[in-house]
Structure 1
């Protein structure tokens, strides 16, 4: 007999699987594909390189930070790939799949409103379009992230959760590791997902790019100045 926690986890996996599928594009570019992560950025690619600068710090230098209290994300910034976008809450549609952002809004990331908020202990998941018929979208360059790249998530309470990338990997659509990507975590972790890999007009992108990160710092909400 399954436990309530197990049933909730199973439901979450199904919701996120539907969420990822909603980002597949119907049309792409004939000559330009999104960046693909190199083998060096995968978990099996060895230790992170020291590339210098605060946006490319080695994860080994940054131990996990303590978990934050729950607060939903409102903005995401990834300086190394020039992402600076609002985050919208996404619920479930009539078909029980996750709703998509409004058509034509390519500079927005989505977060499942009933999922783990970034900065809270567990696995938070965010996703975004890679492109549309008009050009690159918010997570087009996700495959260019390096180990140690910084991700900043501003939250509704005014605080900012700072994550450092542990690895960036690409998975074929028919071999997506649900447990690895969506499974529970004992520390605050973040997954960013977009489409990637080869593209065909008949079936779209053939893979998903996933960035794995963990919380390394928190910038508290601004305090009001005394009168």
Structure 2
């Protein structure tokens, strides 16, 4: 997420698992500083196509059975060459989701007070789109399409396999907390980073969100 996200100090909250969190958009997941040197037209991260938007929830595809709780350790997204360790994330004093250290560009995090990936509910994973040196772990997140596979390794040796249902981008001022973080009746996953274009004055304008659900395990 970008510097513009820090301006969104909303008091409303949404549910992620059993714990209320404020909008993730209040925390920066990308600096965009490196864009100023190379030009945003050449190096800006890809943004989701409108055709990849979320389908009517009434048309949900069946999910695999929920897994027993076991903390996640790694996330893999083959279509965009992501293979990154996961660290636990908590809340900031302001009630927003904290973020992984920006200096480690191949590190993502999961909200460990909420739903564990593979459990019934909405699990949250977040990571940087870039840092001051260039692209980071979720730089290409906006290029994902429906049907892409996301794998989450878990501490017990199991792997939760999710299928992407939609990829959307939201302006920071219009971030739909309930749609993104709301409780789910099946195992679901949200993967979040910055996006929505970049402004020299304010940074990234919004957030890219991937919606996925559990379709297999091994």
TM-score range, shorter chain: 0.7 to 0.9
Tell me: CA distance 1:26–1:92, structure 2 relative to 1, closer, same or farther (3 Å). Answer: same
Identify the residue that residue 212 of structure 2 maps to in structure 1.
213
The aligned counterpart of 2:6 is none
Change (3 A) 1:95 1:41: closer
Unaligned runs of 5+ residues in structure 2 are 1-12
- Tell me which residue corresponds to 1:41: 52
Identify the residue that residue 175 of structure 1 maps to in structure 2: 174
Asked if structure 2 preserves the Cα contact closer than 8 Å seen for 1:129 and 1:138, the reply is yes
Query: What are the within-5 Å matches in structure 2 for residues 159-198 of structure 1?
Result: 159-198=158-197
CA distance in 2, matches of 1:99, 1:9: 16
User: 1:30-73, CA deviations, whole angstroms, 9 ceiling, x for partnerless residues?
Assistant: 2321101111111259xxxxxxxxxxxxx95xx31000111111
Tell me which residue corresponds to 1:54: none
| TM-score normalised according to structure 2 size | 0.82
Which secondary structure does the structure 2 equivalent of 1:80 belong to? helix
- Unaligned runs of at least 5 residues, structure 1: 1-6, 46-58, 220-227
DSSP 3-state at the match of 2:21: helix
Residues paired across the two proteins, number: 197
Q: Which has the larger radius of gyration?
A: 1
Inter-partner Cα distance in structure 2 for 1:206 and 1:95: 21
Question: Per-residue deviation at 1:90?
Answer: 1.6
Q: Is the 8 A contact 1:166 1:213 kept in 2?
A: yes
More relative contact order, 1 or 2 (CA 8 Å, 6+ apart)? 2
Structure 1 length-normalised TM: 0.79
Taking only aligned residues, the RMSD between alpha carbons, in angstroms, comes to: 2.3
